[in-house]
């Protein structure tokens, strides 16, 4: 059994991961870390775990945890994992970081967009960007994985074949994305209160959301050139889910079959990416609670543009599910182990 520790187990992503690992046949959670609730029964914080988890919350001592665990998941605010990272930890345990600390390769860009001084830039080069469908072979060999963000996972996977195959002008990309409120975390914030969110939708982080450079960097690797794009996220009054609608100009006229072939080339054998039939477009309700990503596209011949749409569950494929998927790869397990549950509906 893989012994797993979760730092930040009482946040939404950490709790989702705890639930997934509880049903994983080859893993067990040995450390439910939470700086805010040390000593409290985990099941008293998440009643859905009553009679399923008997453990108490522990602190965020990664040194001690590394001596007990094979893998450490850090579902923590930006900056914490970087501040705790050292060689001793990585010599004892593998680390999957769900924060942005090791996602961006240029430390200056990270510090600019996140407003933080990076505490361990020496590990950025080693960290593998854990988008499994694209970096699978590198993840298998990694001891430190940077788990991608939810908006970024959806946006990158939706656009990747178009960018990789040179079908679109990357300078024309516009991404319009919507997220459920769990994406904002479990902390008490006035803008996230029920009365503030319900019966409303709003854009935020306009022209400055911190997932922007992550998307640009990864799509830049795909096409081999610098990518600058517009990314605008929106908050919608639902618990979970992300829908990303991306627009871009085609480099030349293409048929549906040509574009479909590009998507099939990269995703045709991917279990967790579902390419929908022609004319059927992703909806968050059909991926909720699962590790699946639904993707489709529409060619707009009138404008010479293509519209690509992707949907995923921000807490599963956008966070905890992808983290477990990375763990499976890192330990040589079947990639979908413990992650095959069907989307929940209704």
Question: Do 203 and 141 touch, CB atoms closer than 8 A?
Answer: no
DSSP 99: S
| Residue 58: its H or E element | none
Pick the CATH number of 151-314 from 3.30.70.3290, 3.30.420.40, 3.40.470.10, 3.30.360.10: 3.30.360.10
Give the tens place of pLDDT for each residue, 131-186. 999 999 999 999 999 999 999 999 999 999 999 999 999 999 999 999 999 988 88
d(CA 344, CA 346): 6
CATH architecture for residues 2-126: 3-Layer(aba) Sandwich (3.40)
Backbone angles phi, psi at 6, to 5 degrees: -120, 115
31-33-34 Cα angle (round to 5): 160
Question: Do 242 and 150 touch, CB atoms closer than 8 A?
Answer: yes
Question: Do 46 and 15 touch, CB atoms closer than 8 A?
Answer: yes
Please report the pLDDT score of residue 52 as a whole number: 96
Strands 242-249 and 305-312, sheet pairing: antiparallel
CA distances for 8 relative to 14, 36, 37, angstroms: 6, 9, 10
- Tell me which residue of 103, 122, 121 sits closest to 113, measured CA to CA: 103
In the chain, CATH 3.40.50.720 covers: 2-126
Please give the mean pLDDT across all residues of the chain: 97
Which residues have a catalytic role annotated? 150
β-sheet bridge partners, residue 230: 174
Ranges of the chain with pLDDT below 70: none
In the chain, CATH 3.30.360.10 covers: 151-314
Give the tens place of pLDDT for each residue, 201-213. 999 999 999 999 9
Task: Outline where DSSP puts E strands in the chain.
Answer: 2-7, 27-33, 71-74, 94-97, 128-129, 144-146, 174-179, 202-203, 230-235, 242-249, 273-275, 293-300, 305-312
pTM strictly above 0.85? yes
d(CA 169, CA 161): 13
């Amino acid at each position: 059994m893989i012994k797993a520790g979760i730092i930040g187990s009482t946040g939404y992503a950490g709790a989702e991961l705890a639930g997934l690992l509880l049903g994983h046949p080859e893993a067990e959670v040995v450390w439910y870390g939470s700086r805010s609730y040390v000593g409290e029964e985990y099941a008293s914080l998440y009643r859905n775990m009553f009679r399923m988890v008997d453990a108490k919350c522990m602190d965020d001592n990664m040194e001690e945890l590394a001596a007990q665990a094979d893998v450490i998941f850090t579902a923590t605010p930006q900056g914490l994992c970087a501040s705790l990272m050292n060689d001793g930890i990585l010599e004892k345990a593998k680390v999957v970081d769900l924060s942005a600390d090791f996602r961006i390769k240029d430390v200056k860009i990270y510090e600019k967009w996140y407003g933080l001084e990076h505490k361990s830039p020496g590990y950025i080069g080693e960290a593998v960007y854990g988008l499994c469908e694209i970096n699978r072979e590198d993840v298998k060999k990694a001891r430190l994985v940077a788990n991608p963000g939810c908006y970024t996972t959806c946006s990158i996977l939706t656009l990747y074949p178009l960018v990789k195959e040179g079908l679109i002008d990357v300078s024309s990309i516009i991404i319009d994305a919507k997220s459920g409120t769990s994406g904002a975390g479990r902390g008490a914030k006035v803008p996230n209160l029920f009365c503030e969110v319900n019966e409303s939708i709003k854009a935020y982080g306009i022209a400055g959301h911190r997932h922007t450079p992550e998307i640009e960097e990864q799509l830049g690797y795909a096409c081999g050139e610098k990518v600058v794009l517009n990314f605008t996220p929106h908050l919608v009054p639902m618990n979970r889910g992300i829908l990303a609608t991306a627009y871009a100009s085609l480099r030349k006229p293409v048929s549906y079959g040509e574009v479909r072939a590009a998507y099939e080339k990269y995703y045709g054998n991917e279990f967790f990416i579902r390419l929908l039939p022609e004319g059927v477009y992703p909806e968050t309700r059909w991926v909720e609670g699962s590790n699946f990503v639904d993707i489709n596209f529409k060619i707009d011949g009138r404008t010479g543009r293509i519209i690509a749409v992707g949907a995923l569950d921000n807490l599963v494929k956008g966070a905890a599910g992808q983290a477990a998927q990375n763990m499976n790869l890192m330990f040589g397990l079947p990639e979908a182990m413990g992650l095959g549950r069907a989307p929940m509906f209704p």
